[in-house]
Amino acid sequence: NAGVTQTPKFQVLKTGQSMTLQCAQDMNHNSMYWYRQDPGMGLRLIYYSASEGTTDKGEVPNGYNVSRLNKREFSLRLESAAPSQTSVYFCASRTGNKDYGYTFGSGTRLTVV
Amino acid sequence: AQTVTQSQPEMSVQEAETVTLSCTYDTSESDYYLFWYKQPPSRQMILVIRQEAYKQQNATENRFSVNFQKAAKSFSLKISDSQLGDAAMYFCAYRGNFGNEKLTFGTGTRLTIIP
C-alpha cells in the first residue's frame, strides 16, 4: 500500500547507544518530517526536509541528526541515546500542494534504559 | 510563534450522541490551515478534517464538522452520531502558509464513547 513506512516499530536502547530510525514514502512527496510524541505534549517537530537535499531544525532538534538520502527516504539518527529520548517517533510527508495535509507513518516506540 | 491549545484533556459521550472538541490557536498570519487528526490505539495518525482559513464555509466530512471562528481563533470539531470506533485521541493542528513547513499540534483530547 502507498504511504509512509517506518522501521523499526519498537526498539529498546541502552543509554549511550546509537541507532537510526528509517522512513520511506512512495507518494513522490517533496517534504518529510520527524516528530516525537510524549504524553500530554502532543507531537513536536524534531527536523524536517522541505525538499531533497535540504534539512532544517524544528522545535526539539537537540540530540538528533537527520539525512535526506533521496526524495523517498529521510532518516533520524540518535548518536548517544538518553532516557529523555524515550518517546514515540513519527515520520510524515507532504506534497508541495498547499491543499493537502500530512501523511504519517505508524510510528516507532523507542525506550532508552 | 504559533500555539495551539486544547483545553479538554478528556471527553466522553454516549454512543449516538453529539460531542464537540475545542481548539484555540494563536497566530499573526492571515492565511493558514487547520487540521483535526485522530489517533486510535493503533497509534496511526489519521486526518479527519481540514479547514483553509480563507474559506468562510465550515468544512464537513460525513459525521464530522468544524466550527471555524477566525476572529476568535477557534476551531472546534463536532462529531455527530458518535460511534464506538470514534474512541481515540484527537489532535488539533495548525500550519501557516507561504513556505511555513511546521505543523504545530495541540496536546490532544482523549475521547471515550460510552455504549
How large is the greatest C-alpha to C-alpha distance in chain A, in angstroms?
Answer: 42
Torsion of CA B75, B81, B84, B90, to 10 degrees: 0
Model confidence at B29, in pLDDT bands (50, 70, 90)? confident
B17 DSSP 8-state letter: S
Q: How distant is the Cα of B37 from the closest Cα of chain A, in angstroms?
A: 10
pLDDT at A7: 95
DSSP bridge partners of B75? B68
Considering CB atoms only, which of B43, B101, B107 is closest to A48? B101
Does residue B1 carry a pLDDT above 80? no
Kindly list the residues from chain A whose CB atom is less than 8 angstroms away from the CB atom of residue B66: none
pLDDT above 90: percentage of residues in chain A: 77
The answer to whether the CB atoms of B101 and A31 lie below 8 A apart is yes
Determine the distance in angstroms separating the CA of B86 from the nearest CA of chain A, rounded to an integer.
Answer: 18
Q: Give the pLDDT confidence score for residue A1 in this predicted structure.
A: 60
Q: For residues B60-72, give the mean pLDDT.
A: 95
Report the residue from B99, B103, B106 with minimal CB separation from A102: B103
Query: Could you tell me which residues are beta bridge partners of residue A10?
Result: A109
SS3 B6: coil
Per-residue pLDDT, B2: 81
What is the 3-state secondary structure of chain A?
CCCEEEECCEEEECCCCCEEEEEEECCCCCEEEEEEECCCCCEEEEEEECCCCCCEECCCCCCEEEEECCCCEEEEEECCCCHHHCEEEEEEEECCCCCCCCEECCCEEEEEC
Distance of CA A83 to the CA centre of its chain: 18
Q: What is the pLDDT of residue B98?
A: 67
Question: What confidence score (pLDDT) does residue A81 get?
Answer: 96
Give residue-wise pLDDT tens across range B56-65.
Answer: 899 999 999 9
The CA–CA distances, whole Å, from B30 to A12, A112, B27, B71 equal: 44, 42, 8, 10
Please tell me if residue A10 touches chain B, with a CB cutoff of 8 Å: no
pLDDT single digits (tens) A49-78 = 988 889 999 999 999 999 998 999 999 999
Is a pLDDT exceeding 80 seen at residue A100? no
Q: Cβ A31–B44 below 8 Å, yes or no?
A: no
Residue B72 in contact with residue B8, Cβ under 8 Å?
no
Minimal C-alpha gap between B115 and chain A (Å): 26
Stronger pLDDT, B21 or B29, i.e. the higher one: B21
Q: Specify the pLDDT at position A75.
A: 97
pLDDT at site B7:
96
How many residues are present in chain A?
113
As given in the structure block, the three cell numbers for residue B26 are 494563536
B106 contacts: CB under 8 Å, gap ≥ 6: A42, B4, B5, B6, B23, B91, B92, B93
Indicate if the pLDDT at residue B45 is higher than 70. Answer: yes
A59–B102 CB contact, under 8 Å: yes
Q: Is the pLDDT of residue A113 over 70?
A: yes
pLDDT at A97 > cutoff 80: no
